[in-house]
Structure formats: C-alpha cells, structure tokens
Amino acid sequence: MPSPKVKEVVLGVCGSIAAYKAGDIIRRLKDNHCDVTVIMTKEAAQFITPLTLASLSGRNVYSGMFDKDSSPMAHIELARSAEIILIAPATANVIGKLANGLADDLLTTFVTTSRAEVFIAPAMNDAMYANQIVRDNCAKLKKYGFKFIEPVKGKLACGTVGVGHLAEVEDIIKAILK
C-alpha cells in the first residue's frame, strides 16, 4: 500500500495565550502525515518559545523578515511550497492586517504572497471577538475565500466565559485535513 501524500502546512502562530496549543497542533499534523513549518509573530514568542516549536516540527521557526538565519526572500520561498496555511491562534491584529492588505511582518507578507488555502482559527477575549470591526474584518476575509475555524465558548484567560476560546485542536485538524 502506498504511503499517504505528505501535505506541506505552514502554521502561523500569533501572540495569544492560546499559543501554547501550537505544540499540540504541530504534533497532530505530523501524526496525519503533514510537514509543518512555523512562522510566529514576535508577540507569539512571549507565550511560547521558537525552540519548543522547532523541536516539535523538526524545522527552523521563522519570525522576522530579516532574521539572521533566514533568507531575505523567506516569504516567497515558503509561499512556493505551502499547500495549506493555518493561523492558530489568530489575533484580532493579524486578522485586521490581512483584511486590509497590510503586510508588515513575515506572517502577513507570507500570507499575502501565497496561493495556498488559508484557515484562520481566532482566539481572543469575547468582547474583542464581538467587536464590529473584528466581525467586519472576518467577513471580509471570508469573502476573499479564507476559511474560519470559529472560536468556541469557554473560559478565557481574563477569567470570563464567552466566545473567543480557540477551537479544540482536534476540530482544527479535522477542518484543515478534509
């Protein structure tokens, strides 16, 4: 029996307390025959280290446009090989940048360059997620073909309970692999 085709996934990790779940996402993607490259925002590195994500993915982790270890054309090189882009957790900031065509860091520049299918799994405070500007930005991205893995109701880092909790990792994996 032939081995399953390996999918090339680029995981974008943003600055949210839910960034700690990126490790589990990587592990489960690899269990499902995916190669995973991580691009993390500088804010994400406040929540989880690049070393952790590199150890789990078995690949270098990218964060800055001009990191000493990456090519000045990393966004283009990564875009050529990516089959699936998953941004999890996605913050209101990155959603807003993408919805408005702003490409001012490696993650947003890469997404703007790539032709791969993009999945966004938001995670943020319930009031932020309910904010009309954020809702409009999500709707705009959906019109452009971005797929959303909606957050769920749960206990949030601030202590409240509401919609903004990152979807369950299992549900994220199912959504992008179908």
Residue in 14, 34, 138, 158 annotated catalytic: 158
163 within 8 A of 171, measured Cβ to Cβ: no
Active site residue 34: no
Q: Parallel, antiparallel, or unpaired: how do β-strands 147-148 and 34-40 relate?
A: unpaired
Of the candidates 90, 105, 9, the one whose C-alpha atom is nearest the C-alpha of residue 57 is: 9
CA distances from 5 to 8, 119, 146, 173 (A): 10, 20, 24, 16
14 within 8 A of 87, measured Cβ to Cβ: yes
Catalogue the active-site residues: 158
